[in-house]
Structure 1
């Protein structure tokens, strides 16, 4: 007889209009708190996942996963590259020459990193060719001293495709007129935009032109590696250095951008923890709601006990009521959070266009838009945690209700 009673009465208590409106308000507040907490946590973690994805795909798509270099010459690089590519974890190994210098044009001056690359091989280790705004990587021809600039770098210099820029290297050239910085005039043949800070401080030239400018002959600075798993970069480099010539040294992306990646991971964990506490506070409000309901329903509890309801039945009634509140708030929050995570990028872009402002300036932040990546694992963890906390919040009030004695409850009725 009493098998279905806990479920039916618990639902009735949830739907019923109470004499005490304050209890109804607290119940609604608990539900809204759970909804907002779950929705915001899903949204925020999705945005953090988006930043993490952009870091991997954009910045680490332009920055080499690892490099093998030498300070004493690297004339035998084709043999080293061939040996490295025999490792199944290494997708490609291509040569590079790297320099830091100052670009000048029309009175504008800007520092940048210049990579000398082989255009026909650069696509094996970089995504630059997929993000060209103007021109093409193949427009870099040896001996023509063409250069491809980041979009923001070109804007700072006030140049476009076809314009001239002067590159000054921090190396002196001795001339009859005295000692001058080494300078060379380049023609802008292309512009790229990856939506990261690299757009403002990176330029790409042909490997042969940079070798000529830096007077390296056929020498290079090193080879860049593209790996199947970028998180395995440190171990791969260490193992390769054990079998490569001793004068070679290695580096990987964790030394240049590892702190940024770790910061995003740390922020994701801390923000997740803080927002989980918000969900816990909302779930804890269920305790207050149920305790007041138990006090308000003492007469009903006493009547049920006199009709034969066991303490377990009474306890189950209020556990059902609290669980329904938690389940409703959690499910609504999950739906809202998923919808927000799937549309937040477009919504922010629309607001930026409407207001004429850019919230994430690419000259300040490493990407210029708000990314979002919804992961189903995060949704399950958040939803499960909210449901568990909601259920646990029902135990103490339900236990208090089961301890009420009919005689004491009906004494003053």
Structure 2
């Protein structure tokens, strides 16, 4: 059965002609809490979506880990593969050579890192080859100086599949006229579109034999790219990857070597958003204080009558605590439902707005992605709901305590 205090607290929530304004203030409190919870769930879900999608697409292109000899004459990439053979954390490996170069075509010049790959081995460490719009790794034939570019890079250079692009290497040729840059024309045999601006506008692949010829390298300069079973745990895996005694001869680095700063920034941004949105929820919850204080002031005579009939101060406190808690719970419930709906459909809503405005609002060169991702993490939702309910209960304490301190004689003096 519902206790007397709970029944009275519920009754005070119902609107009457005399207390219509008070009920309106209560509705405003509910709406404020609901908006705060909805905004926090939506924003955190979008941040989680960016973090998840960018990391997922990055893992499909970037190596989870790389190893190589400090001294190029210490061995070949086949020797490197033997070092990690049988390691349960390594599910694939492929040799590579990488160095800087300039690509030029039609007066356009772009600086890139050209990566030489073995077409037969590269599929073990990357996944994007399945979605290549044109060409494929098999198009890279040794000795033909073929090249595959990111779609954005190819577009910027104004070259299409079947065309040629000039590669300028850092090391020049010494001639009687001085140092002359080394130029080599490559045939564009394919493009890659991954969806990440930095990769689509910087990816350049050629056959490992052609890269070796281009940079005048020996076979020992090739390193080994690794695909890990759990790329999220790459730093710990990389630290224990090499057998004892090999650490002085072989270097190893994981994907966090060049990308960790971005994900650290996203994680810090997520924490700061929690802090900011916490204060938004706090402001919304503080509306409960004014609502309950005004209710306590209006119900002074009713409180006095209840006290004279034997209801203890704790009972009075419970009445208004129930009222404030219910306002907080209702606001949190509405905010959670609408927040989850908005977070689940925020991408489609943005597309509709972009279609209405006739322009893109999310540019990949700024945000890494050209769409608005969303990923609902239930632990984050639970944290947000707990914070909202906790704040609602906390701010309810003072008005409830103030109501319990009401003296019946003082309240009824002017009645």
Q: CA deviation at 1:385?
A: 1.4
The answer for the alignment partner of 1:370 in structure 2 is 372
C-alpha contact (below 8 Å) 1:18/1:24 kept by paired residues: no
Q: Does 1:109 align with 2:109?
A: yes
Q: CA deviation at 1:282?
A: 1.0
Q: CA deviation at 1:71?
A: 4.3
SS of 1:240's equivalent in the other structure is coil
Q: Does 1:138 align with 2:138?
A: yes
Counterpart Cα distance in 1 of 2:85 and 2:410: 83
Matches within 5 A, 1:11-410: 11-17=10-16, 19=18, 23-73=22-72, 75-174=75-174, 179-196=179-196, 197-241=198-242, 242-244=244-246, 246-410=248-412
Counterpart Cα distance in 2 of 1:356 and 1:191: 28
Counterpart Cα distance in 1 of 2:335 and 2:151: 40
Q: CA deviation at 1:178?
A: 5.6
Counterpart Cα distance in 2 of 1:60 and 1:264: 17
CA-atom RMSD in angstroms: 2.1
SS of 2:155's equivalent in the other structure is helix
SS of 2:344's equivalent in the other structure is helix
The answer for the alignment partner of 2:4 in structure 1 is 5
Counterpart Cα distance in 2 of 1:266 and 1:330: 26
Q: CA deviation at 1:25?
A: 4.2
C-alpha contact (below 8 Å) 1:132/1:191 kept by paired residues: yes
* Residues 26-54 of structure 1 deviation map (CA, whole Å, 9 limit, x = unaligned): 32332111111101110111111011112
C-alpha contact (below 8 Å) 2:99/2:113 kept by paired residues: yes
Normalised to the residue count of structure 2, the TM-score between the two structures is: 0.93
Counterpart Cα distance in 2 of 1:96 and 1:380: 45
Counterpart Cα distance in 2 of 1:221 and 1:351: 49
Q: 1:118 to 1:350 in 2, by over 3 A?
A: farther
C-alpha contact (below 8 Å) 1:85/1:93 kept by paired residues: no
- Gapped regions of structure 2 (runs ≥ 5): none
Normalised to the residue count of structure 1, the TM-score between the two structures is: 0.93
Counterpart Cα distance in 2 of 1:311 and 1:178: 97
Identify which range, 80-89 or 304-313, moves more after superposition.
Answer: 304-313
Q: CA deviation at 1:175?
A: 5.5
SS of 2:159's equivalent in the other structure is coil
* Residues 57-88 of structure 1 deviation map (CA, whole Å, 9 limit, x = unaligned): 11233221221123421642212213213221
SS of 2:83's equivalent in the other structure is helix
SS of 1:34's equivalent in the other structure is helix
- Gapped regions of structure 1 (runs ≥ 5): none
Identify which range, 79-88 or 22-31, moves more after superposition.
Answer: 22-31
Q: CA deviation at 1:334?
A: 0.5
Q: CA deviation at 1:407?
A: 2.2
Counterpart Cα distance in 1 of 2:110 and 2:358: 27
